[in-house]
């Protein structure tokens, strides 16, 4: 467990994400180590520990997270993430826990808008109607995200949907910006509330500009919220995301590449290829671009294949692994030779990714692989890898 905690401080984003996934998969078992990590000397470790405790939702972490949030020297992003983690664990059973209400009320006026938004969210989850005036106050916040969170919280208090921008208009009338709700939810809500007044949503261009700006936020939750909104907007967000992916802000570039990958638009391929070949792009960003090409390319996208082969020949394990996965659709001699070489890489992560890719994508036309794969099978001692190698050979002989 200690090695995984220290891996959270890796300079490589994908290495940190790998450790986070493993710690999250261990659930309650990891909680004591993650609580200890809240006082780690490195900010990255504290940040990841707070995020994971919020995902695992073990209430043993509430007190330590509250201590972190109230530490005078803690950074704004750590504070807001600790508040978010506690808010996600809050429910009416915590309403009378000592200090819980005061904790959220204290941060509803924090200088950081992200901290204010999650404090409002926590107040709403406690479900105490006596706290509703404080949420109403937050609907006049200067930051749109805080106002949206407060508006949704107000409506949740009154039995409406917990998502979307919804507000009371007096005399029992409900104003709803329906286009901010999923279509099915909006239709169901309107059928159940014929008195509802439907307003126009903000112009798409305005929503896109606001969300793209949030891709640069210091808080990872705010960035994830922005990505979700951009993906929901879909095609109209594409041009702005391309500009952000090729821009100068390193944080915004990473998040824009994630969003473009989620959109799954074919004309994203040249953008991801450009990122792969960008000498100024970090190894992490290039690995994300390679990962974004997985399942997006066809075997006729020769430029993408060449860029993936270039990325796979670096010394970065994440670029190699992502390139291996993305090369699944290519059956030319160079691509298949690369995958066979990667299946013998010294790094187990790269080796396993290449073997899994070959096992899933090999066809009868890949007969050139028979001899090298048979040789690998003779040398391999790991049972799981032997199964994968056997599968590759069976797929070659299938026809």
- Domain C-terminal end among 71, 89, 107: 89
126 occurs within a structural domain: no
State the burial class of residue 211 (Cβ atoms within 10 Å of its Cβ: 0-12, 13-18, 19+): buried
Tell me, what's the pLDDT at 47? Answer: 87
Does 198 map to a domain?
no
Q: What integer pLDDT is reported at residue 262 of this predicted model?
A: 92
In a domain? residue 287? yes
- Using 50, 70 and 90 to split pLDDT, how confident is the model at 33? very high
Domain total for the chain? 2
Question: 276: domain CATH number?
Answer: 1.25.10.10
Pick from 54-63, 195-204, 348-357: least confident: 195-204
Taking the C-alpha atoms of residue 270 and residue 337, their distance in angstroms, rounded to an integer, is 24
Task: Kindly give the pairing relationship between strand 166-168 and strand 174-176.
Answer: antiparallel
- Under a CB-based contact definition with an 8 Å cutoff, are residues 281 and 275 in contact? yes
Rounded Cα gap, residues 232 and 205, in angstroms: 14
Give the Cα separation of 66 and 58 in Å (integer): 14
Residue 235 burial (10 A CB sphere; 0-12, 13-18, 19+): exposed
Domain-embedded: residue 193: no
Q: Please give the structure tokens belonging to residue 133.
A: 């005036």
Other beta carbons less than 10 A from residue 183's beta carbon: 9
CA–CA separation, 17 and 374 (whole Å)? 34
71 is a domain residue: yes
- Does residue 181 contact residue 163 with C-beta atoms inside 8 Å? yes
Q: Which residue has the tokens 């993936």?
A: 308
pLDDT of 191: 67
175 domain-assigned = no
Query: What are the Cα distances from residue 379, in Å, to 118, 312, 374?
Result: 54, 24, 9
Write down the residue that tokens 């929503």 correspond to: 207
User: Residue 207 above 90 pLDDT?
Assistant: no
**For the whole prediction, is pTM greater than 0.75?**
no
Judge whether residue 199 has pLDDT over 50: no
Question: pLDDT tens for residues 208-245?
Answer: 887 888 888 776 767 877 888 888 888 999 999 999 99
The DSSP line for 263-299 is: HT-GGGHHHHHHHHT-TTS-HHHHHHHHHHTTTT--T
Strand order in the sheet with 166-168: 166-168, 174-176, 197-198
Is the separation of the CB atoms in 318 and 14 below 8 Å?
yes
Q: How far is CA 102 from CA 67, 137, 205, 220, in A?
A: 13, 16, 39, 25
**383 falls within a domain:** yes
Domain end call among 89, 116, 140: 89
Residues 370 and 224 in one domain: yes
Q: Are residues 381 and 236 in the same domain?
A: yes
**What Cα–Cα distance (Å) separates residue 300 from each residue in 97, 103, 332?**
61, 57, 10
* Domain end call among 72, 89, 106: 89
Cβ–Cβ < 8 Å for 321, 349: yes
Q: Which of 82-91, 134-143, 304-313, 389-398 has the lowest mean pLDDT?
A: 134-143
Pair (383, 235) in one structural domain: yes
232, part of any domain: yes
In angstroms, the CA 349 to CA 206 distance is 42
List of residues 6+ apart from 60 with CB closer than 8 A: 31, 32, 35
Q: Does pLDDT of 293 surpass 70?
A: yes
Domain residue limits at 48: 1-89
């Amino acid at each position: 467990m200690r090695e995984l905690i220290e891996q959270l401080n890796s300079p490589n984003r994908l290495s940190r994400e790998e450790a986070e996934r493993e710690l999250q998969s261990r659930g309650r078992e990891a909680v004591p180590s993650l609580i200890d990590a809240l006082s780690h000397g490195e900010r990255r470790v504290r940040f990841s520990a707070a995020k994971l405790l919020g995902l695992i939702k073990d209430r043993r972490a509430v007190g330590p997270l509250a201590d972190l949030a109230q530490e005078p020297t803690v950074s704004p992003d750590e504070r807001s993430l600790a508040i978010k983690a506690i808010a996600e664990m809050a429910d009416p059973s915590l309403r009378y826990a000592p200090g819980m209400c005061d904790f959220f009320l204290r941060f509803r006026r924090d200088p950081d808008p992200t901290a204010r938004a999650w404090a409002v969210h926590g107040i709403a989850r406690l479900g105490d109607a006596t706290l509703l005036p404080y949420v109403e106050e937050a609907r006049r916040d200067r930051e749109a995200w805080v106002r949206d969170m407060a508006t949704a919280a107000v409506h949740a208090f009154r039995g409406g949907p917990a998502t979307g921008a919804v507000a009371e208009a007096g005399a029992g009338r409900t104003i709803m910006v329906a286009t901010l709700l999923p279509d099915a939810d909006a239709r169901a809500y309107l059928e159940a509330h014929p008195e509802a007044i439907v307003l126009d949503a903000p112009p798409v261009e305005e929503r896109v500009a606001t969300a793209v700006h949030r891709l640069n936020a210091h808080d990872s939750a705010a960035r994830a919220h922005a990505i979700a909104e951009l993906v929901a907007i879909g095609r109209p967000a594409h041009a702005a995301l391309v500009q952000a992916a090729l821009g100068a802000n390193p944080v915004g570039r990473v998040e824009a590449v994630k969003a473009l990958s989620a959109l799954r638009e074919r004309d994203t391929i040249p953008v991801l290829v450009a990122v792969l070949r960008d000498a100024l792009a970090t190894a992490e960003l290039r690995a994300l671009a390679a990962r974004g090409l997985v399942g997006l390319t066809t075997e006729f996208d020769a430029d993408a294949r060449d860029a993936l082969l270039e990325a796979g020949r670096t010394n970065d394990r994440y670029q190699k692994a992502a390139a291996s996965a993305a090369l699944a659709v290519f059956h030319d001699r160079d691509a298949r030779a690369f995958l066979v070489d990667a299946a013998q890489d010294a790094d187990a992560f790269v080796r396993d990714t290449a073997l899994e890719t070959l096992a899933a994508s090999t066809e009868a036309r890949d007969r050139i692989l028979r001899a090298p794969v048979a040789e690998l099978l003779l040398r391999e001692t790991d049972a799981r890898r032997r199964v994968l190698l056997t599968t590759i050979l069976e797929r070659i002989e299938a026809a």
